[in-house]
Amino acid sequence: MELHLYDADNRHPRAAELVGDGSLFALGDEKGFMGHRDAGGLLHIYVALKTPADWATSGAIDFTGTGTGTGTGTSTEQAKAALLTYFEGWDDSLRALITDAEGPLVARPIHALPIGHRWQPTPGVTLLGDAAHLMSPFAGEGANLAMIDGADLAAALAAHPDDFGKALRVYEDGMFPRAEEMAAESAANLDLCFTADTPRGLLDFFAAHDAEAARTA
Ligand SMILES: Cc1cc2nc3c(=O)[nH]c(=O)nc-3n(C[C@H](O)[C@H](O)[C@H](O)COP(=O)(O)OP(=O)(O)OC[C@H]3O[C@@H](n4cnc5c(N)ncnc54)[C@H](O)[C@@H]3O)c2cc1C
């Protein structure tokens, strides 16, 4: 679920301090909160749960109503209350990210194509971006891949203006392994964030990065 807190420094100082200037991860028991600060003091919060695939439309939480659009409508308040039941006993500062969110809660079910998804060359047709390699956002690379796919496809078409079949092959030969690597990273990071002993794996991950940075400094 995606939530927003606007003008946080002035209107939500506790949340602003909690998220800080970078990113917040508060994970455990295969669920949690992730957040970051966007321009203009906007806090962008994701509340993550591991659920059956149809959970967002199952009625467990009513995401259909937008209330008044200010986050104070009945249906938004009910959705918040329902979401809070998944976080009984969690720190009040984290629960307040839900309570204080403005606007409707937006469900963002996470889907992924199989790692290494490919297709046979098809004359005149190819795919790029999420259509080619949908993955969970845990490598933070989906938009980057979509942009480089577009640039590579354009370059291939420009390089082979008389042979579109060859242009598509050149593009796909570069795109498939790039997407596979990121899809594997994304799947591994998702596992890291939502295992039974989280946040242990995540802490080890960052500690290994720190150790590597110190070694190569
Ligand atoms: C919660 C979340 C967090 C993310 N965080 C990051 C991140 O930190 N970094 C990162 O790089 N990526 C991130 N991503 C992934 C990123 O958003 C996507 O990989 C990226 O938007 C893919 O771009 P795209 O152009 O391929 O597809 P899309 O952005 O999905 O664009 C496809 C467009 O086509 C339109 N469309 C669909 N069908 C039709 C039709 N029949 N006719 C006309 N239009 C149509 C859709 O409405 C849409 O506008 C995140 C994704 C999610 C869900």
Task: Summarize pLDDT for 3-56 with one digit per residue, the tens.
Answer: 999 999 999 999 999 999 989 999 999 999 999 999 999 999 999 999 998 888
* Bridge partner list, 2: 46, 106
Does a structural domain hold residue 104?
no
Averaged pLDDT for residues 171-189: 97
Residue among 25, 23, 28, 48 at smallest CA distance from 199: 28
Ligand 1 pocket, 122 CB below 6 A? Answer: no
Q: How confident is the model at residue 74 (pLDDT cuts 50, 70, 90)?
A: low
Q: Which residue's alpha carbon is nearest to atom 2 within ligand 1?
A: 137
Show the DSSP H helices in the chain as ranges: 8-11, 13-19, 74-84, 92-99, 130-133, 142-159, 164-193, 200-216
Number of domains in the chain: 2
| pLDDT value for 32 | 96
Last residue within a domain, chosen from 55, 75, 99: 99
62 in a domain, yes or no? Answer: yes
Q: What is the CA radius of gyration of the chain?
A: 21
Tell whether 141 is covered by a domain: yes
* Between residues 71 and 157, the one the model is more confident about: 157
Nearest CA owner, ligand 1 atom 21:
143
pLDDT at 124: 92
106 CB under 6 A from ligand 1?
A: no
* pTM over cut 0.85: yes
Q: Confirm or reject: Cβ of 184 under 6 Å from ligand 1.
A: no
Q: Output the CA 137–ligand 1 centroid distance in Å.
A: 11
What whole-number percentage of the chain has pLDDT above 70? 95
The percent of residues above 90 in pLDDT, for the chain, comes to 78
Structural domain harbouring 80: 2-99
Indicate the top mutation candidate among 45, 135, 141, 148 to test ligand 1's pocket, ranked by most ligand atoms within 8 A of CB: 141
Side-chain-side CA neighbours of 2 within 13 Å: the count stands at 9
Hey, what's the torsion of the CAs at 166, 171, 177, 178, to 10 degrees?
Answer: 170
Residue of the CA atom closest to atom 37 of ligand 1: 131
Strand order of the β-sheet with 23-28 is 2-5, 43-49, 31-37, 23-28
- Per-residue pLDDT at 68: 43
- 157 shares its domain with 216: yes
Mean pLDDT of 55-63: 84
| Helices 92-99/74-84 angle, 10° precision | 160
Q: Is residue 82 part of a domain?
A: yes
Cβ of 111 below 6 Å from ligand 1? no
Question: In whole angstroms, how far apart are CA 216 and each of 170, 202, 205, 207?
Answer: 36, 21, 17, 14
pLDDT score recorded for residue 63: 78
Q: Does 78 share its domain with 136? A: no
- Asked if residues 1 and 87 have their Cβ atoms less than 8 Å apart, the reply is no
Q: What pLDDT sits at residue 67?
A: 44
Ligand 1 centroid to residue 130 C-alpha, Å: 6
Q: Is 143 in the pocket of ligand 1 (CB under 6 A)?
A: yes
Distance CA 151, CA 20 (A): 34
Q: Specify the long-range contacts of residues 181-184, CB closer than 8 Å, at least 24 apart.
A: 182/133, 182/135, 182/139, 182/141, 182/145, 183/112, 183/113, 183/115, 183/116, 183/117, 183/133, 183/135, 183/139, 184/115
Q: Is the dihedral of CA 64, 65, 69, 75 positive or negative?
A: negative
Final residue before a domain boundary, out of 69, 99, 129: 99
Average per-residue pLDDT for the chain: 92
Provide the pLDDT for residue 69.
Answer: 43
Q: Ramachandran region of residue 100, left (φ > 0), alpha (ψ -120 to 50) or beta?
A: alpha
